[in-house]
A and B are shown apart, each in its own frame.
Chain A
Amino acid sequence: MRDVAIVSFSQLRGDPEGGVPEVLMLVPVVLEAIEKSGVPRKQIGFTCSGSCDYLTGAPFAFVQNLAATGAWPPISESHLEMDGAWALQEAWVRLQHGDIDTALVFASGRPSNSDLREVLCLQLDPYYLMPLWPDYISLAALQAQALLARTGHTEKDLAEIVVRARRAALSNPNAEISGEFTASELLQAPYVSSPLRAHDCPPISDGAAAMVLVAGDRARDLCERPAWIRGIDHRIDAQYPGVRDLSVSPSARLAGEHAGVGRGPVEVAELAAAFSHEELILREALGLGDEVLVNPSGGALCSNPMVATGLIRIGEAFRQIHEQGRERVLAHASSGPCLQQNLVCVLEAD
């Protein structure tokens, strides 16, 4: 495979100004990622983005977002109705052709426009499951319950994950929730859907992110410490909660294997674990031991702009290499109910 690196990353700072349309959330982010990369905007070889009509609340919502790239003269561009992490994978595939060296990837989501407990029901089998309106938190609670029952983990273990995430988020200006808490404090709260309490669930966040990929030596010329994509893969599980063991994630395990996670030690993992229990499932599936630092950004528990969350995990992993001097980090993205679909990306320094 051709060597491809992330050379720049940008994300929307904090909460976007009320009413700013998605494309205006993207304009500064896309411009910043391009500027930091040192690649002139008009020379970018391929552009790929991720977003979701049902989050925005309009058909063809992504069409407006195209303007954030200034697509004139015309550009080679594609869009996925998925998290931007999958758009990154498409761009990486496209760069393997060898005829172009640079790609722009971006993602945006405005989940705060709607009630996700209703909207996300539409992700389910439309004939047998969706008409029951099982909301995403209840589905996640089924998974959490299955995990606790199998492994003997406790609700306190879940609270400890939240304590650690919120503490880590103190140093992340983009996090929506952060602070010092204790597990016993958190456990005073009532259940939202047992065994999950509000702190075990992700906040509803809006967000946007962009990055630039560059192939070969040009990445070294443009960037001090680029993050090389050494492996990337994604897999999916069956959707029906009843047909699989919810306490494990075979698709995350497969994606991790195919991305080559085990080929070396992982220093940091940025996981799109939107619910606290998902971190435990993912750690197990990806074989991450206690020595691995998980979600130093605070992760999706502290800020979860759906369909941008995964791309932001990859961006945070890039920062770990580019700014923090790490050698080998892992990023993860997820889609669908109960961690149904998972993407794993391994980044390395030179």
Chain B
Amino acid sequence: MAERCAVIGIGQTHHTRRRDDVSLAGLVREAAVRALEDAELGWKDIEAVVIGTAPDLFEGVMMPELYLAEALGAVGKPITRVHTAGSVGGSTAVVATQLVQSGVHERVLTVAFEKQSEGDTSWGLSGGRSGGVGAGGYFAPHIKAYIERSGAPEHVGWKVAVKDRQNALRNPYAHLKLDKIDIDSVKGSEMLWAPIRRLESCPTSDGACAMVLANEAGGRRAPRAPAWVHGKAIRSENGFFPGRDPVNPVAGQDCAADVYRQAGITDPRRELDMIECYVPFSWYEPMWMENLGIAEKNRGWELTDSGATAFEGDIPVNCSGGVLSTNPIGASGMLRFAEAALQVRGQAGERQVDGARRALGHAYGGAAQYFAMWVVGSERP
């Protein structure tokens, strides 16, 4: 690898159900301007832009980077558009990191967004046909299989739903602010796709996230402490074939093993100070803790149940409130990467984990078949 990569600027919008006050361009620009301000850089300092969003059908704009080029100061520069299903926010950051690590560019702006209010995601997911069950209906059987397999008690899902929403109260950018949520309200909420209840599901959000990435020299010059990339990886596997295990996909295990190896991590439970993990439905927290090697197989629910993943726990997960509190789909993965970086920079405000030095950002997509991850740290690797 020719170069190290540092995250020197992070910006995000205040995520909400509808951002009626801005256009698509206004939304992505808001996040990008904040990232540039954080890095104390201007548009002219950026050499290339890497942008990601979920399927174009969600907003009805085909290859939106063409229209967004001007708003992102990309005219006369390279702009690349990534699309890897739900993991796209994460893989977009990975593609941007590659541009720096390869030595091709010194400073890259990476942006991810979704403006769900300008389209109809359920319509988009169903291809416009009746009978669409959405992501919840798709993933519910996987969750059901996990519960059956692990013997997890049903309150574990409710607990995650409460924990992440309480975490969101400390995050000024989070969409859902459910200050009265408790186990009873989750348990009493409508069953949407058994075993997933309404309050165990992610919301529909408008939002964008942006990061400025720089090479080593840029990282050293940064006005605020950077987050250094210690490892980044992507993995994909076929979505449908006999014998595939979508509950604990091998692609996720391989991706985690790859980033840990790059970061020199042998015991992730101890060596990571926090995790920002893509949990769109509450049960994915224990499922991904197993997939990431934080908990043993079929015992992820015990980790969650013990409180270890709570804000005060020894391996806090989703201190930002996670996808359960904020879900601008295309940006959701990048928010995980950015929140992990904010933590190791010590810039996470009220949601800061004390002394966080190393954190994992995680995203997944498709039929739980696309994975993107990075490990970021406060120390230069």
- The answer to whether A and B touch in the complex, with CB atoms under 8 Å apart, is yes
Chain A residues with Cβ below 8 Å from B233 are 76
Q: Cβ of B76 and Cβ of A52 under 8 Å apart? A: no
A70 to chain B, nearest CB (A): 7
Q: Cβ of B98 and Cβ of A97 under 8 Å apart? A: yes
Chain A residues with Cβ below 8 Å from B360 are none
User: Residues 58-73 of chain B: 1 if any A CB is under 8 Å from the residue's CB, otherwise 0?
Assistant: 1111110111011000
B348 to chain A, nearest CB (A): 29
Asked if A71 is at the interface (CB within 8 A of a chain B CB), the reply is: yes
Chain A residues with Cβ below 8 Å from B70 are 238-240
Residue of B63, B67, B84 touching A52 (CB-CB under 8 A): B63
Q: Cβ of B80 and Cβ of A86 under 8 Å apart? A: yes
**Total number of residue pairs linking A and B with CB closer than 8 Å:** 171
Which residues of chain B (83-131) have a CB below 8 Å from chain A? 83-85, 91, 94-95, 98-99, 101-104, 118, 124-125, 127
Q: Cβ of B366 and Cβ of A336 under 8 Å apart? A: no
Chain A residues with Cβ below 8 Å from B59 are 126
A204 to chain B, nearest CB (A): 16
Chain B residues with Cβ below 8 Å from A251 are 76
Asked if B55 is at the interface (CB within 8 A of a chain A CB), the reply is: yes
Q: Cβ of A63 and Cβ of B75 under 8 Å apart? A: no
Q: Cβ of B63 and Cβ of A335 under 8 Å apart? A: yes
Q: Cβ of A66 and Cβ of B102 under 8 Å apart? A: no
In this complex, the interface size class of chain A, counting residues with CB under 8 Å from chain B, is: 35 or more
Q: How far is the CA of A78 from the CA of B83 in the complex (A)?
A: 8
Residue of A73, A74, A93, A239 touching B102 (CB-CB under 8 A): A93
Q: How far is the CA of A250 from the CA of B76 in the complex (A)?
A: 7
Q: Cβ of A54 and Cβ of B74 under 8 Å apart? A: no
Chain B residues with Cβ below 8 Å from A335 are 63, 66
User: Residues 239-269 of chain B: 1 if any A CB is under 8 Å from the residue's CB, otherwise 0?
Assistant: 1010010000111001100000000000000
Binds B, one of A7-15, A151-159, A228-236: A228-236
Q: How far is the CA of A196 from the CA of B234 in the complex (A)?
A: 45
Asked if B79 is at the interface (CB within 8 A of a chain A CB), the reply is: yes
Q: How far is the CA of A72 from the CA of B2 in the complex (A)?
A: 30
Chain B residue with Cβ nearest A47: B236
Asked if A192 is at the interface (CB within 8 A of a chain B CB), the reply is: no
B36 to chain A, nearest CB (A): 19
Q: How far is the CA of A217 from the CA of B56 in the complex (A)?
A: 41
Given A66-B236, A78-B95, A335-B66, CB of A73 within 8 Å of CB of B254: yes
User: Residues 83-127 of chain A: 1 if any B CB is under 8 Å from the residue's CB, otherwise 0?
Assistant: 000100110011011110000000000000000000110111111
Which residues of chain B (1-31) have a CB below 8 Å from chain A? 1-2, 23-24
Q: Cβ of B24 and Cβ of A126 under 8 Å apart? A: yes
Q: How far is the CA of A1 from the CA of B104 in the complex (A)?
A: 8
Chain A residues with Cβ below 8 Å from B75 are 236-238
Q: Cβ of B366 and Cβ of A63 under 8 Å apart? A: yes
Q: Cβ of A74 and Cβ of B235 under 8 Å apart? A: yes
Q: Cβ of B104 and Cβ of A78 under 8 Å apart? A: no
Q: Cβ of B76 and Cβ of A235 under 8 Å apart? A: yes
Q: Cβ of B84 and Cβ of A82 under 8 Å apart? A: no
Given A90-B95, A97-B1, CB of A59 within 8 Å of CB of B57: yes
Chain B residues with Cβ below 8 Å from A63 are 85, 239, 366-367, 369
Residue of A67, A76, A340 touching B235 (CB-CB under 8 A): A76
Asked if B82 is at the interface (CB within 8 A of a chain A CB), the reply is: yes
Asked if A79 is at the interface (CB within 8 A of a chain B CB), the reply is: yes
Chain B residues with Cβ below 8 Å from A67 are 238-239
Q: Cβ of B104 and Cβ of A96 under 8 Å apart? A: yes
Q: Cβ of B250 and Cβ of A126 under 8 Å apart? A: no
User: Residues 127-140 of chain A: 1 if any B CB is under 8 Å from the residue's CB, otherwise 0?
Assistant: 10010000000000
Q: How far is the CA of A92 from the CA of B236 in the complex (A)?
A: 19
Chain A residue with Cβ nearest B258: A76
Residue of A79, A99, A124, A237 touching B83 (CB-CB under 8 A): A79
Q: How far is the CA of A254 from the CA of B48 in the complex (A)?
A: 13
B44 to chain A, nearest CB (A): 15
Residue of B24, B83, B94, B125 touching A81 (CB-CB under 8 A): B83
Given A76-B235, A236-B78, CB of A119 within 8 Å of CB of B62: yes
B332 to chain A, nearest CB (A): 16
Q: Cβ of A235 and Cβ of B62 under 8 Å apart? A: no
Residue of A66, A94, A123, A238 touching B62 (CB-CB under 8 A): A123
B93 to chain A, nearest CB (A): 12
Asked if A80 is at the interface (CB within 8 A of a chain B CB), the reply is: yes
Given A235-B76, A341-B79, CB of A94 within 8 Å of CB of B98: yes
Asked if A60 is at the interface (CB within 8 A of a chain B CB), the reply is: yes
Given A97-B1, A126-B59, CB of A236 within 8 Å of CB of B238: no
Can you identify 14 A-B contacts, CB atoms within 8 angstroms?
A52-B56, A71-B236, A72-B241, A78-B234, A80-B80, A93-B98, A93-B104, A126-B60, A233-B78, A234-B78, A234-B80, A250-B76, A341-B69, A341-B79
Binding site for A on B (CB under 8 A): 1-2, 23-24, 55-63, 65-67, 69-70, 74-85, 91, 94-95, 98-99, 101-104, 118, 124-125, 127, 233-239, 241, 244, 249-251, 254-255, 366-367, 369
Q: Knowing that A82-B80, A94-B102, A99-B1 touch, tell me 17 more A-B residue pairs with CB under 8 angstroms.
A: A53-B57, A59-B127, A63-B85, A63-B367, A70-B238, A71-B236, A73-B237, A79-B84, A93-B98, A97-B101, A123-B61, A123-B66, A123-B67, A126-B118, A236-B76, A238-B69, A336-B66
